[in-house]
Structure 1
Amino acid sequence: MNYTTRAIAIALVAGATLVSTGCAVVRNQETVGAYVDDAAITTAVKAKFVEDKTVDAGAIKVETLNGAVSLSGFAKSSTEKAQAEYIARNTKGVRQVLNNLSVRP
């Protein structure tokens, strides 16, 4: 993946993340600062998924609330599931990872 394609992919992930998580503050689930931090964590995790060749970023949904990252969707193997969790755990700001990925052959 060349630099321009990677930059566009990361920008699209960031935009989609912000749009899809926009109502959390309205529902009083967290403060504006915590919401911004959670959106940044979600974006960072998704960007790392895009960069990693072993994880299908399009098949994994990432949601963050108060530093707890929830992974859902489908992985092609237990190795991909474990790698997705590893990436999320090693992202700055992540306090906890809930790996709800299903392995689908």
Structure 2
Amino acid sequence: MKQPVTRILVASLLALATASSVYAADKMHAEKTDKSAAAQYVDDASITANIKAKHAEDKSVRVTAIGVETKNGVVQLSGFTPSNTEKARAEEIAKTVPGVKSVKNDIIVRAN
């Protein structure tokens, strides 16, 4: 019972962060038509938030165990997992997010 509530809470918070990032990106884009470093940072933050939200929705990925960082559309996954299946699933999910150019999967598989 606690785990679904936690996943919903995490997904909600990540969705809120994503919405804030999108709003900020739109506002910055209206002020300057070319893609500034700040706008790229906002895009990367939005990609990261979207990946974390999708990880939270997927029951096969432990969202608290997987780290996500994005720079210029390149996503790096990190953390520890007990299975190759979870490692692969986290990467598959990341690749589905719009704006992702590539994924570097540095998740380490180790037994508990």
- TM-score category (smaller protein): 0.7 to 0.9
Q: Which of the residues 50, 66, 75 maps onto 2:72?
A: 66
**Structure with the largest fraction of helix:** 2
Q: Structure 2: how far apart are the matches of 1:49 and 1:5?
A: 9
Give the Cα–Cα distance (whole angstroms) in 2 for the partners of residues 5 and 66 of structure 1: 28
**Contact 2:78–2:105 (8 Å) recurs in 1:** yes
What is the rounded CA distance, in whole Å, between the counterparts of 1:64 and 1:87 in structure 2? 14
> TM-score, normalised to structure 1's length?
0.77
Structure 2: unaligned runs, 5 residues or longer: 21-35
SS of 2:64's partner is helix
1:80 aligns with one of 67, 77, 86: 86
Percent identity of paired positions between Structure 1 and Structure 2: 48
> How many equivalent residue pairs?
90
Q: Distance in 1 between matches of 2:81 and 2:97?
A: 19
TM-score (norm. length: structure 2): 0.72
Determine whether 1:55 maps to 2:55: no
Unaligned runs of at least 5 residues, structure 1: 19-29
**Equivalent position SS for 1:64:** strand
